[in-house]
Structure 1
């Protein structure tokens, strides 16, 4: 049995602290094989019924990336219009994606029609398919940070348009579009906290006892 000592546990906690959502990337190319290696790590994640529902699309084509960027711009304009006053002005100053600068683009989907795992664990909670994919993304995120690579999750996108742009099967549910590259700078605080959009609360605010 593998045992982990206090020093490892402290380093692991530091990895959690320094794992930030990155929006500001350097344009330096990633070493060959970086994204496939991160995908390999993601696939070590647990999944409901061993269904392994994650599906990854590496987006290298310039025109395809440009279509994704245009969709982000459209969705972001709609999001801005949903705010008013000071909150709208503050939203307009936020940098919410690294799509233009990040050397790596990766879309992640959940295959809801997959027969892998024979449906075990999904009859009462079918959403665990998507949860499993999110767990895999978390594993990838931590592995990237350990390598000094930044990862940013872009959610201001239209799932239907992204699925069409990437020409994937209709049974694949869009989960995430990830920007991957070296961060311009590193920080142990979330960017939205530094921008005074929101602040991080303690675990006691989210914990109940029954």
Structure 2
């Protein structure tokens, strides 16, 4: 018996929130209660980080004009992405890819400046600052789902333009626009799977033994 193991009820809750987390695109405009938002941000800040560098910075966007400008940045990149997708362009344009205008709370996540000074764990893998910030975002995502709130990660934007809008210092890098808020319902499956864009791969195809995994297409 493992004395460190959580109870069955606690384990069920953990696995449930992982299974039911969704990248949400449809929101109600109701505000997020301040005490819940603080709990979510605290959960994000409890994430692991390489060398304990804590490279994440969160910016709350509360000004309505600024929100509209951010949406314009996202829309411009959406159209550029559609152009780059060639034969799937029309299909992509039919997808709802963000909820910037509708969500109750809009957050921008950025990597802080001065990251090059952190060598611990990053000498050969400098991108571990990004991996660390992604862990913080995932913490926020899972706790948001547990609180009954939806969250969507938007990556369609020009980082330089977004940094300019938010007065982000030189050397820092915005990596995510997070739409957070109340929803009418959570998708039964990931939205892109429901709409036929892609399907989740089988975990057995992604795990190798003593070497690179062999996928069905390779076997």
TM bucket (normalised to shorter chain) is: over 0.9
Q: Tell me the equivalent position of 1:144.
A: 144
In 2, Cα distance between the equivalents of 1:83 and 1:114? 33
- TM-aligned CA deviation for residue 24 of structure 1: 0.2
- TM-aligned CA deviation for residue 122 of structure 1: 2.0
Q: Does 1:170 align with 2:170?
A: yes
Q: Tell me the equivalent position of 1:22.
A: 24
Q: Tell me the equivalent position of 2:14.
A: 12
In 1, Cα distance between the equivalents of 2:54 and 2:85? 38
* Cα distance per residue 1:152-185 (max 9 Å; x no partner): 0011111111111111111212111100001221
The answer to whether the 8 Å contact 1:111/1:172 transfers is yes
- TM-aligned CA deviation for residue 114 of structure 1: 4.9
In 1, Cα distance between the equivalents of 2:4 and 2:111? 32
- TM-aligned CA deviation for residue 32 of structure 1: 2.3
Q: Tell me the equivalent position of 1:127.
A: 127
The answer to whether the 8 Å contact 1:134/1:175 transfers is no
Q: Tell me the equivalent position of 1:93.
A: 94
Paired residues in the alignment total 208
Unaligned runs of 5+ in 1: none
In 2, Cα distance between the equivalents of 1:132 and 1:167? 23
The answer to whether the 8 Å contact 1:98/1:152 transfers is yes
Q: Tell me the equivalent position of 1:64.
A: 66
Q: CA RMSD in A?
A: 1.7
In 2, Cα distance between the equivalents of 1:45 and 1:172? 19
Q: CA 1:119–1:112 in 2, change beyond 3 Å: closer, same or farther?
A: farther
Bigger shift: residues 191-200 or 35-44: 35-44
The answer to whether the 8 Å contact 1:17/1:188 transfers is no
Q: CA 1:188–1:8 in 2, change beyond 3 Å: closer, same or farther?
A: farther
Over 4 Å off, 4+ runs: none
SS in 1 for 2:98: coil
In 2, Cα distance between the equivalents of 1:92 and 1:29? 29
Unaligned runs of 5+ in 2: 211-219
- TM-aligned CA deviation for residue 186 of structure 1: 1.2
In 2, Cα distance between the equivalents of 1:156 and 1:39? 23
In 1, Cα distance between the equivalents of 2:199 and 2:120? 39
SS in 1 for 2:93: helix
- TM-aligned CA deviation for residue 67 of structure 1: 0.9
Q: Tell me the equivalent position of 1:154.
A: 154
The answer to whether the 8 Å contact 2:74/2:156 transfers is yes
In 2, Cα distance between the equivalents of 1:172 and 1:44? 21
The answer to whether the 8 Å contact 1:148/1:182 transfers is yes
